[in-house]
Amino acid sequence: DTAVSQTPKYLVTQMGNDKSIKCEQNLGHDTMYWYKQDSKKFLKIMFSYNNKELIINETVPNRFSPKSPDKAHLNLHINSLELGDSAVYFCASSQDAAFEQYFGPGTRLTVT
Amino acid sequence: SQQGEEDPQALSIQEGENATMNCSYKTSINNLQWYRQNSGRGLVHLILIRSNEREKHSGRLRVTLDTSKKSSSLLITASRAADTASYFCATGISGNTPLVFGKGTRLSVIA
Model confidence pLDDT, tens digit, residues A17-58: 999 999 999 999 989 999 999 988 889 999 988 877 888 787
What residues in B contact A35, CB-CB < 8 Å? 101
Show Cβ contacts of residue A41 under 8 Å, excluding neighbours closer than 6 positions: B37, B86, B103, B104, B106
- How many Å apart are CA B90 and CA A99, to the nearest integer? 11
Q: Check CB contact of A110 with chain B, cutoff 8 Å.
A: no
- How many Å apart are CA A13 and CA A46, to the nearest integer? 21
Mean predicted lDDT score pLDDT of chain A: 92
Cβ A41–B86 below 8 Å, yes or no?
yes
Question: Strand B100-101 vs strand B105-110: parallel, antiparallel, or unpaired?
Answer: unpaired
Q: Half-sphere exposure of A36 toward its Cβ, with a 13 Å CA cutoff?
A: 17
Cβ B42–A42 below 8 Å, yes or no?
no
Cβ B86–A40 below 8 Å, yes or no?
no
Lowest mean pLDDT among A45-54, A71-80, A86-95, A97-106: A45-54
Give the closest-approach CA distance of B79 to chain A in angstroms.
Answer: 23
- How many Å apart are CA B55 and CA B51, to the nearest integer? 10
What is the model's pLDDT at position B6?
A: 84
Of A12, A31, A37, the residue nearest A87 (C-alpha): A37
- How many Å apart are CA A31 and CA A54, to the nearest integer? 10
For B20-71, write each residue's pLDDT tens digit. Answer: 999 999 989 999 999 999 998 999 999 999 999 999 999 999 999 999 999 9
Report residue A1's pLDDT band, with 50, 70 and 90 as the boundaries: low
What is the model's pLDDT at position A26?
A: 96
Mean predicted lDDT score pLDDT of chain B: 92
Give the closest-approach CA distance of B14 to chain A in angstroms.
Answer: 24
Q: Check CB contact of A41 with chain B, cutoff 8 Å.
A: yes
What is the model's pLDDT at position B95?
A: 65
